[in-house]
Structure formats: structure tokens, C-alpha cells
Structure 1
Amino acid sequence: MKTVFFCGHKSAYGLAHLVPLLQSNFNIIGVVLATDKRWNVFREKLSGKSHCSYNSYWQRIKMIVKKLIPQSVLSKLKKGCGKSIDTEIILKEYKIPFWYVDNVNSEEFIQKIEKIQPDLIISAAYPQIFSKKLISIPTQGAVNCHPSLLPKFRGAHPHFWAIAKGETESGLTAHFMTEHIDDGDIIAQISFPIGGYTYRNLYKKIIEETPNLIKQLQEFFIESKQKIKKQDDSKATYFRNDREIHHRIFWSLHDDKEIYNLARTGTAFCFFRMKKITITKCYMSETNRNLTNNIKVEEGIIVDISKDSVVIKAKNGCINIREVICDRKKMSSLNFAKKFKIEIGEKFD
């Protein structure tokens, strides 16, 4: 089956599909990569700025690619390029044509795809919404791979929102593409529990399960073993990309569970003495040893400093902070308390 893969290669999730597809029974006749200009437009539309530094992005990509590429291929890549491992080198090793495209909906590019006459289009984390004209070209349809259990968490950054909203289950979905975002019929789906997962845990699990999703796609299109499943729109949720305000802890508004789940994303922050504090590890407790005699304490107040945590009053309970980032340095809550000589009764804003 002649297949063109639209690879979101500047997303670790998008890139994780590349080698499994190249090693599958799909006949990959070309790979489409977005230009830097297109990625910049995409990021600006999502959040107005990029949350991912160039260096940290490539560190994640290298780590994931090393896990996915067979050792025999990896050794060849290392000999040919020193420490550099990138998308182009993988595609050249597999002898797959690739094109950098600024606008996949342009008439020029659509004519190119029409000339190739693919049976199938597969997309993962590609930074552009496809037009109806483009997705109607392949005879077997166009498929998008999305890192959530659709119909839940349609839209942007679903793995962040799954953690932030306290979901106990997540997964991956491959679905036919339509004119609307993430609402097409489901072809393949993988689910797994995520109770207690951090954002990093979930992202790692998504990457690990991606090859299994490709196997299910192969079973549907090549082996005819899978069946189509309609999405239940009554259960659908949709989220736009998270921005800085979505990571902010509002002690007077968020309850203990909401703060705990937000902290599991690794990006939850508030302020203490005018300094930005990111809470990276914490746990909940119903009360604290100091909250006796029906005392009324405002949310955000430090009520205790114990051996393992700084305890903050929250709605419906307490948040026991075990690790923070302050001044770009990660430290235990006790080291944080010692450094700033924190006292009970002070407030986190």
C-alpha cells in the first residue's frame, strides 16, 4: 500500500512514528516534513511563544530515536555523522524520498501528491491542519495519530490535559481525518492506566506504545483484522494548547486535587516572596497536626514544616510540597525552607 507519511519531526511524539512505519509493511513512498517557518507559525498560533528550547528538544529526540532505531542501523548512522542523529539521516539510510513543505494545502503541493497517487496518508503531530482537498486524494483515506483516548481530549497537547485534569486512563488513537479536528472514525486505539503518572511518565509511555499503534494500523489496512469504530460525540472533550496561565496555581480557587494534578505536569507554579516557585513533587493530606481547635486558615498559608515537606493549606485539605524549582534550581522542600528561612504563617500566592 503506497503511503505518504506527514511527520511532525520536531515533536518527539511525531518522530516516534517514523522508524516503526519504515519497518512496517506499509510501502512508504515519501515523507513530508514541515519547514522551520511552518513550525514557527504553528507555535505562534498555539501559544504565542515556544515553550521548548532548541537544545532540550534535540536531547529528547536523540534519546527517543536511539531507542527506536535498530542497533545495526544506529551504528551506521553514528559512523556517518558523529554524534548527530536527525530525521534526514534516518530517511537517507532507508532510502526514502522526503520533502520540506511550507504549506501542504497549496495548489502546488496538492498537485504533487495527486501525481504520486498514494493509497494512504498517515500523519503524526504535523504542524498544520489539512484541507479537504488534500485528505481526499488517497484512495484509502488519510489517518491521523493522536495521543489520547478519543473522543476525549481532542485538540492540542492532550497528554498535558489528561494529567492536569486527573484522568486515570489515557492512550493513543489512530483515526480517519475529516475537515474537523480529531473527530473521524477510529481505526486503532490503545489504552492504559495513568493513575499517579507524571507528565514525563505519560509521555514516555506514549512513545513506547507508538509502535503497537502502527501494528494495529497495519492490521486494519493490510491484514483487514480491525474494525472501524464511530466516535461518541456526547463524550467528546476539546482543549486548546496550554499557556502559562493554565500552569498557575490559584490557592483560593483550586482544591487540593486540582493542585496535585497540576503539579504532576511538572509545570505548576505560584509565588513566594515575589519569587516564582514551580512545584514538582507533592502529595495531598486531609488535614495537618497544626490545624486543630477549628482554626480557620486562608488557602496558601504555610501551616507546617515537617521532616519531608512544607505543608500548605488548600481547599478541602493540604498540599505537602516535597520538591520545588526556584531560581532555576531544583531543591527539596527542606532545603528550600532552610534557604529562605521559611516560617509557619507565611503565604504562597
Structure 2
Amino acid sequence: MRTVLMCHAEDAFDRQGLAAWLASFSDLAGLVLIEETGEQKQARVRRELKRVGPWRLLDVLAMRFYYRFRLAAADHAWMDASLAALRSRFGDVPAVPELRVSSANAPEVATFLAACQPDIMIARSKQLLSKRIYRIPRQGCLVMHPGICPEYRNAHGCFWALAERDLDNVGLTLLRIDAGVDTGPVYGYFTYAFDEASESHVRVQYRMVLENLDALAQRIRDIAAGTARPLDTTGRPSGVWGQPWLSRYLRWKRAALARQPAVAPAE
């Protein structure tokens, strides 16, 4: 099975950890590394403004500041330890062709994929792929979406399931990309025993992948072999979510702490 990984260049978890994992059970044929421009990031903010309005955008920005100054240091330490464990288990990323682009849909991407001839591409990108890109791999492009689809499509599905107190739908969806936003065929759901009181939404999102690597690898093999069948999601509610809000984060954490069992006083 020949594979390609598409991810953001600055995301070490993907570029180092997941690339080595992918190479451990497939022939990793190449890496597409996305280096977004400041203009692209600004455009994403403008889209969020259009989607939620100016007052709610302030809630989004407040969440980003809160995460940066209150949560990021602990998550970075956890990430460093997780990457060390992945390197110990899977080794270093092998030397493979790399393509660095600002857009996942750049013409060079199509040329690169055609040369790599992948059976599967794993897309870990914030950018939506065009048909001419996701149709190149023989068995399509797969997404490990942080959220249960179709209920929690688009961004930060784990966060919103936690914030909505929909704890049975906190998980990861393995799906094949189509023309919609996380609307493609679903090939599996994965989760783990998360600790919502102590873990941040970012850590939960990454651990959804980390704790299910073996099961994900087997399902990807089955898809490449043509033996996997998509799950029936007919009739289920479909929701499109966006960036986390600080107001909902604080409400979620209060609810999570309230669910913690009381500690009996020492005798």
C-alpha cells in the first residue's frame, strides 16, 4: 500500500509522529507540507467573522488568548513526551520526497501526487481539497476528523460535543473526502477514556488519534484493499461547527468538574 501524508509543516505531531506511524505499515511515498501565508490565515478569520458575527468572534479570540496563556505550556510538554514515545515506537521518518506549498490545491500538488501514485492519502489539513486533488489516490483521500460525523462536522467536533454535554459523541471519525465538508463515506468511529476535567480540548483531539493508531492502521489497510464498507449514517442529524468559544469552554469545564466524584475526607 502506497501512501502520502498531507499536513501543515509546523505541526510536529503530524509531520514527525504520524509520518513515522504511516511508514510503519505502508510504503510512505511522499509528504505534502502546507505552509500557509498570513493572508490565508486572515481569510480564515474573516470567514469565521461572517459565520458567527463580531460579538461571537470576540469570544473566539478570547478562547485563543486563554489557551495560549493558560493551557498551551502544559499541552506542549505533553506533546513533546508523546512525540518521544512515537519516535521510540516507530523510529524516525524515512527520507521521502517532500513538496512544500501554501495551498493544498496548488497545481504542483496534483503533479506530485501523480508521481507518487498513492493508493491512499491521509489529509491533515485545514484547507478543503478540490476534486482534482482528492480523486488522484486510487482509494481516495482519508480524513481522521476530530468529531463524530455527521453530528459534529467541520471544526473542533470534540470540543463542541464536550461543550454540548454530548459525551457519547466525543470521538474521531475516519472518512473519505468528497465534495462536501466532512460529508464523505464513514469507515469507523474511534474514542478513548478521556478525562474531560483535566484534559484540554486540544489534548483530547490529538489523543483521539494517538490512542487509536493500531485500529486506524488496520482500517486504512482494509480501505486500501477494498474490503472495508462504509457505515450507514442515513437519517442522523448533521451539524456544522466552528472555532471554540471561551464562554462555552468555561461552562464545559464547570460541568465537567461538577461530574467528578466527591473525595471522601481522610479519617
TM-score computed with the length of structure 2 as normaliser: 0.73
- Deviates further, 36-45 or 163-172: 36-45
Answer whether contact 1:17 1:214 (CA < 8 A) is retained. Answer: no
Secondary structure, counterpart of 2:217 in structure 1: helix
Mapped to 2, the partners of 1:17 and 1:42 lie a distance apart of 28
Counterpart mapping for 1:216-295 below 5 A:
216-222=218-224, 226-232=228-234, 234-244=236-246, 246-247=248-249, 259=251, 261-263=252-254, 282-283=257-258
The letter for the 1-side match of 2:5 is F
Q: Which has the higher contact order (CA 8 A, sep 6+)?
A: 2
Secondary structure, counterpart of 1:110 in structure 2: helix
Q: How far off is 1:9 after superposition?
A: 5.3
Mapped to 2, the partners of 1:149 and 1:221 lie a distance apart of 19
In the other structure, the counterpart of 2:54 is: none
Q: Does 1:137 align with 2:136?
A: yes
Mapped to 2, the partners of 1:105 and 1:198 lie a distance apart of 38
Mapped to 2, the partners of 1:34 and 1:232 lie a distance apart of 34
Q: Does 1:63 align with 2:81?
A: yes
Q: How far off is 1:12 after superposition?
A: 7.0
Mapped to 2, the partners of 1:199 and 1:58 lie a distance apart of 13
Answer whether contact 2:143 2:175 (CA < 8 A) is retained. Answer: yes
Q: How far off is 1:2 after superposition?
A: 1.9
Counterpart mapping for 1:96-245 below 5 A:
96-124=96-124, 126-169=125-168, 170-192=170-192, 198-200=198-200, 202-203=204-205, 205-222=207-224, 226-232=228-234, 234-244=236-246
Secondary structure, counterpart of 1:29 in structure 2: strand
The letter for the 1-side match of 2:204 is L
Answer whether contact 2:147 2:156 (CA < 8 A) is retained. Answer: no
The letter for the 2-side match of 1:62 is D
Q: How far off is 1:69 after superposition?
A: 1.6
Secondary structure, counterpart of 1:138 in structure 2: coil
Q: How far off is 1:149 after superposition?
A: 2.2
Q: How far off is 1:143 after superposition?
A: 0.9
Q: Does 1:21 align with 2:39?
A: no
The letter for the 2-side match of 1:217 is R
Answer whether contact 2:36 2:103 (CA < 8 A) is retained. Answer: no
Question: Taking structure 1 as reference, are residues 282 and 243 closer, same or farther at Cα in structure 2, changes over 3 Å only?
Answer: closer
- Deviates further, 226-235 or 144-153: 226-235
Mapped to 2, the partners of 1:203 and 1:226 lie a distance apart of 25
The letter for the 2-side match of 1:139 is R
Task: List alignment gaps of at least 5 residues for structure 2.
Answer: 50-56
- Deviates further, 101-110 or 174-183: 101-110
Deviations 1:198-240 (A, max 9, x none): 5437346414324134323334135555322233353222211
Q: How far off is 1:3 after superposition?
A: 1.4
Mapped to 2, the partners of 1:110 and 1:210 lie a distance apart of 30
Mapped to 1, the partners of 2:237 and 2:193 lie a distance apart of 19
Q: How far off is 1:102 after superposition?
A: 0.5
Answer whether contact 2:139 2:224 (CA < 8 A) is retained. Answer: no
In the other structure, the counterpart of 1:296 is: none
Answer whether contact 2:7 2:33 (CA < 8 A) is retained. Answer: yes
The letter for the 1-side match of 2:22 is L
Secondary structure, counterpart of 1:21 in structure 2: helix
Q: How far off is 1:71 after superposition?
A: 6.0
Secondary structure, counterpart of 1:69 in structure 2: helix
TM-score computed with the length of structure 1 as normaliser: 0.57
Secondary structure, counterpart of 1:112 in structure 2: helix
Task: List alignment gaps of at least 5 residues for structure 1.
Answer: 74-89, 250-258, 265-280, 285-307, 309-349
Secondary structure, counterpart of 2:243 in structure 1: coil
Answer whether contact 1:42 1:127 (CA < 8 A) is retained. Answer: no
Q: How far off is 1:148 after superposition?
A: 1.9
Deviations 1:83-142 (A, max 9, x none): xxxxxxx43xx2222222101212233233233332221112x12111111111112111
